[in-house]
Amino acid sequence: MEVIDESVAAVVVEPVQAEGGVRIPHQSFIEALRPGDRVGIVAFNTAKNGTDSIATVDVLSRLTGDRGELRNAIENLGSSNGTPYYDALQKVVDSVFHDPPSGDVRGRRAVVALTDGVDSASNSDFGAAKLKLSQAGVACYFVQINTEDFVEDRLMKDCQDDGQLSLSQKQIERYRRLITPPPKAEDFNGFCSMGPFERMSISRELYNIARREMNDLARVSGGRSFQAATLADARAAFARVAADIGTLYSIGYYPTNKARDGKFRTIKVELKGLQAKAHIRARDGYYAPKQ
């Protein structure tokens, strides 16, 4: 049987605000793919729930090698009333990578996200998304954009204009849950009555948490994380990701632990005998099959 070497990737799309409007650097990733590689497009959108607008996650294109279809999906992005980032990561596993790869295909499965990593609207949390990606063996690549200054400026203006909080309630709850020592819920009842230093401290810590989470996911999954200060940086990062997921060494072994208990097995990969410095990127383990 012929074994086909291919890479499949789910691209989580978050448009980048730039002078002159929204710019999408994801085309650089599409153009850099090898023939035969397949990509799915997942994006944030807005749906109506009665009179309310809610943020959703939509699969704009399932796995395909049709470059025209992928370009069309990216060019016709909508806007989102919030960022359900964790929900999007889970959607990648549940929808895009729902079916296991066929026996005649080998290669890397990856999620590639251009994002600031700050979640404002998900029903799930970071732990659930990380577990699901790990169980599916999906490598995580992040092109990190920094929207911190924009959000801080909006946060200050919202409090000056009408006292409306631009940080979502879910973001505030997340901050209270993760920071040590945890503040009391009533401390946030008068968020706009806080001093500017306190408000900025909360916003900046949310960004620090997001960056730590993205770096952690990239590390444990064998992926990479890039900083993108400009659109040119983002395009270059996407090209590097496309090259990276197309280059993969597969190493197999027979584990001494034969239990089919569904538990996590830690692995460690080392290189020996090389004169030049080498860097290894490999996932930190896998989940054993269940009976």
pLDDT along the chain (291 residues), means of 10: 51 55 61 82 82 83 88 79 87 87 67 88 89 89 86 73 66 76 66 76 87 93 90 85 77 83 83 73 80 70
Q: What is the model's pLDDT at position 24?
A: 52
Select from 75, 78, 74, 6 the least CA-distant residue to 37. 6
| Residue 190, domain member (yes or no) | no
| Residue 191, domain member (yes or no) | no
Integer Cα distance of 264 and 77 in angstroms: 38
Integer Cα distance of 250 and 113 in angstroms: 24
| Residue 71, domain member (yes or no) | yes
Helix (H, G, I), strand (E, B) or coil at 52: strand
Integer Cα distance of 281 and 108 in angstroms: 13
Q: What is the model's pLDDT at position 200?
A: 82
| Residue 268, domain member (yes or no) | yes
| Residue 124, domain member (yes or no) | yes
Q: What is the model's pLDDT at position 130?
A: 92
Q: What is the model's pLDDT at position 6?
A: 52
Say how many domains are in the chain: 1
| Residue 35, domain member (yes or no) | yes
* Domain carrying residue 135: 4-147+209-248+261-281
Select from 110, 124, 99 the least CA-distant residue to 42. 110
| Residue 97, domain member (yes or no) | yes
Q: What is the model's pLDDT at position 104?
A: 53
| Residue 237, domain member (yes or no) | yes
Residues 6+ apart with CB under 8 A from 147: 17, 116, 118
- Tokens 């960022």 map to which residue? 83
Q: What is the model's pLDDT at position 164?
A: 60
Query: In CATH, what number is assigned to the domain containing residue 48?
Result: 3.40.50.410
Contact 59, 91 (CB under 8 A): yes
What pTM does this model have? 0.81
